[in-house]
Structure 1
Amino acid sequence: MKNYTVVAKDSFTVLGIGTELRSDYTDYAGITKEKADFWESIKQDGRLETLKAVATNNYIFAVNEAVNNKMMHYAGVMTEASVPEASRLIQFPKGEYLVVKGEAQTAEELSNKLTGIAFGQVLSEVKDVAYVGGPNATVEMGQQNGILFGEMWIPVVRK
């Protein structure tokens, strides 16, 4: 069974609050801890609620993007508004996206699971598309019967 699809998406923008990930890109445990600490921090100090208050939908984005040779991680929402806490407008290009669906008990588990499947399995298996960079995101889309569900969106190009 194929655990991904490739879909066309219009360009969209995510308003994000971000942090620089300082662990080496091969240090999965270090990156995971930095992301978890960041999410805990923005939940505790109210910045996540501030973002959610201006969102145009219920989606919560966990965005990864290389900016000026730095590995950045953002919490974000789709919105036309801005908030002082936000550090970046993240532009996702119009085009095709590799989409991996999943579900988990927590947002952190969902993000880690989708990222692991997408980058650890699917991208190495697909033959007709390739990820050539740009922002990618896990998208927490909702909850059903106490289980979170969402998707990983990775911009791709045809080989």
Structure 2
Amino acid sequence: MANYTLEEKDSFTVLGIGTELKSDYTDYVGINKEKADFWQAVNQDGRLDKLKTVATNDYIFVVNEAVNNKMMHYAGVMTEESLPEASRLIQFPKGEYIVVKGEANTDEELSNKLTGIAFGEVLMEVTDVSYVGGPNAAVVMGQQDGLVYGEMWIPVVRN
């Protein structure tokens, strides 16, 4: 059984810069390459740094969301502000969330690891709650002892 908690969260907004993932949802290699290319671009061109200037905390949100039948992937921060570079205000609902904690060597490795555990293990094992869609996020919270740490937040409903 994967290690997770159920936590109540207030609604919050993430301002995101996004890209559409074109790979088939079962093509993990293709999806991971598209995500890696996107993160390299937003880090190199300064868009992520600009987002951080309007953030209400130090967290970086790696958001996945289906929008108009498209798989979207965002770099985001928690804020009530807006920027011209940003492509979407992502509303996360008030309610229960599955929270999976972890650590890894890089932000990207952390996001992939938490996503794999949450969707590949936890959601397969839980019976009292279900993920019914909506945005989910790997939240990069900081660094400690040379590792990046954070959590995966997935909104769920009671069965």
TM-score range relative to shorter protein? over 0.9
Secondary structure of the residue that 1:32 maps to in structure 2? helix
Matches within 5 A, 1:63-142: 63-142=63-142
Q: Is 1:27 the counterpart of 2:27 in the alignment?
A: yes
TM-aligned CA distance change 1:66 to 1:2, over 3 Å: closer
The structural deviation recorded for 1:2 is 5.2
Show the 5 A alignment for 1:137-152: 137-152=137-152
Report Cα offsets for 1:99-138 as digits up to 9, x if no partner. 0000000000000000000000010001111000000000
With normalisation by structure 2, the TM-score equals 0.98
Task: Give the CA deviation at 1:83.
Answer: 1.1
Question: What is the alpha-carbon distance in structure 2 between the residues aligned to residue 136 and residue 80 of structure 1?
Answer: 18
- Corresponding residue number in structure 2 for 1:41: 41
* Cα separation, 2, equivalents of 1:116 and 1:80: 30
Contact 2:2-2:117 at 8 Å conserved across structures: no
Relative to the length of structure 1, the TM-score reads: 0.98
Q: Deviations over 1:14-42 (max 9, x none)?
A: 00000000000000110000000000000
Read off the aligned partner of 2:74 and give its amino acid letter: Y
Match of 1:26, SS state, is coil
What SS is found at the alignment partner of 2:80? coil
SS of residue matched to 1:122? helix
- List alignment gaps of at least 5 residues for structure 1: none
Counterpart-to-counterpart distance in 2, 1:64 and 1:29: 16
Displacement, 1:44? 0.5
Tell me, in whole angstroms, the C-alpha distance in 1 between the residues paired with 2:25 and 2:82: 30
Supply the distance in 2 between the matched residues of 1:77 and 1:2 (Cα, whole angstroms): 27
State the distance in 1 between where 2:47 and 2:147 align: 24
Match of residue 60 from structure 1: 60
Amino acid at match of 1:58: D
* Structure 2: unaligned runs, 5 residues or longer: none
Q: What value does the CA root-mean-square deviation take over the aligned residues? A: 0.8
Contact 2:2 2:121 in 1 (8 A): no
> What amino acid is aligned across from residue 102 of structure 2 in structure 1?
G
Name the SS of the counterpart of 2:114 in structure 1: helix
The Cα of 1:82 is off from its aligned counterpart by 1.2
